[in-house]
């Protein structure tokens, strides 16, 4: 049995960026779900209700690849009150030839954050108007930052509207985004104001009840909802899905079980839901015109985890080879 390498977050951060390369890897993973044989078991989740926490285990093997990932990720939503991030976790990369563990990524949830944000960019490129200039973000945590950082790779955003329950955290978000990304950020007093003002809206909350209402929708709007990934969560009113001209999800079966489709009883909406990989692979069309209202529900998939684990493994190998040559 070969040596198992361990990489910690600091080492991973040294080689990976939330850029067009990462977005391409995740887009390819979505296409693989449609064009290749992918073994992707249902998500296993452990709830820890007394501490407002949950742990998910995800994995996927993509036909023809020599390795695949098993990912453990946690979300403990009281952590910010303790001065800790909500998200954490790790990934294990295994050989799909021998089953031997190759690498452990003790990334504290970094790779999950990056692949989730990249998925949002994939959705925005396929579904939002190309001339979108304003982005609305619901939530002020780490994913609210990563999603916007990914979005600017695919759309020329000029103005950001943000809503957060905490005025202090919203102000901190404003300072961070204006400093790092050079974008103007305006704090709104309500979610409705954000939705009505934005070309693209991104929801990044663990909400258990709808926070976006159908009467707020407007022509040309795109919404990416990535917060609902469990049976008790919901960010979008069912009417939002029903009113959309195009409803897309990462995996329909997961959206029906864990995502926004679960709360939508409209059979036509369920029947005509499109998977994101069908669009990225060219089998179906994305946005058809600038008037459509489009919605994408991202529940998170094991194929994204395998894709980013394999990608960062290649980057780390190259870094070490280059480092060896330098020395």
Active site (catalytic) residues: 71
Distance CA 186, CA 192 (A): 14
- Other beta carbons less than 10 A from residue 93's beta carbon: 24
- Other beta carbons less than 10 A from residue 168's beta carbon: 9
For 275-313, b where at least 16 C-beta lie within 10 A, e where not — what string? bbbbbbbeebebbeeeebbbbbbbbbbbbbbbbbbbbbb
Distance CA 224, CA 295 (A): 6
> Checking DSSP bridges between strand 53-62 and strand 67-76, what pairing results, if any?
antiparallel
Name the β-bridge partners of 186.
161
- Other beta carbons less than 10 A from residue 122's beta carbon: 29
- Other beta carbons less than 10 A from residue 272's beta carbon: 11
Distance CA 78, CA 316 (A): 33
Among residues 152, 258, 140, 253, which one has the least CA distance to residue 203? 140
- Other beta carbons less than 10 A from residue 52's beta carbon: 15
């Amino acid at each position: 049995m070969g040596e198992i390498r361990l990489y910690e977050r600091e080492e991973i951060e040294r080689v990976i960026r939330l850029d067009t390369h990462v977005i391409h890897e995740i887009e390819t993973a979505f296409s693989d779900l449609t064009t290749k044989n992918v073994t992707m078991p249902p998500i296993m989740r452990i709830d820890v209700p007394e501490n407002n926490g949950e742990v998910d285990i995800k994995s996927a093997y993509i036909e023809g690849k020599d390795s695949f990932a098993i990912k453990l990720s946690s979300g403990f939503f009281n952590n910010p009150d303790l001065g800790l991030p909500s998200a954490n976790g790790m990934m294990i990369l295994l050989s799909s030839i021998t089953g031997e563990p190759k690498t452990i990524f003790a990334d504290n949830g970094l790779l999950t954050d990056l692949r989730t944000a990249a998925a949002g960019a994939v959705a925005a490129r396929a579904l939002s108007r190309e001339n979108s200039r304003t982005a609305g973000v619901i939530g002020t945590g780490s994913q609210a930052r990563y999603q916007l950082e990914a979005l600017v790779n695919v759309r020329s955003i000029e103005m950001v509207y943000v809503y957060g329950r905490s005025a202090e955290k919203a102000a901190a978000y404003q300072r961070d985004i204006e400093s790092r990304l050079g974008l103007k950020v305006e704090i709104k007093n309500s979610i409705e104001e954000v939705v009505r003002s934005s070309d693209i809206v991104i929801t990044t909350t663990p909400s258990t009840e709808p926070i976006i209402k159908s009467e707020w929708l407007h022509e040309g709007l795109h919404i990416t909802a990535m917060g609902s990934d469990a049976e008790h969560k919901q960010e979008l009113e069912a009417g939002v899905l029903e009113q959309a001209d195009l409803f897309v999800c990462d995996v329909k079966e997961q959206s029906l079980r864990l995502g926004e489709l679960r709360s939508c009883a409209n059979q036509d909406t369920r029947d005509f839901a499109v998977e994101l990989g069908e669009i990225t692979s060219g089998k179906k069309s994305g946005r058809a015109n600038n008037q459509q209202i489009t919605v994408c529900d991202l529940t998170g998939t094991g194929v994204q985890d395998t894709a980013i684990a394999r990608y960062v493994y290649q980057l780390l190998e190259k870094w070490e080879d280059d480092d060896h040559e330098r020395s």
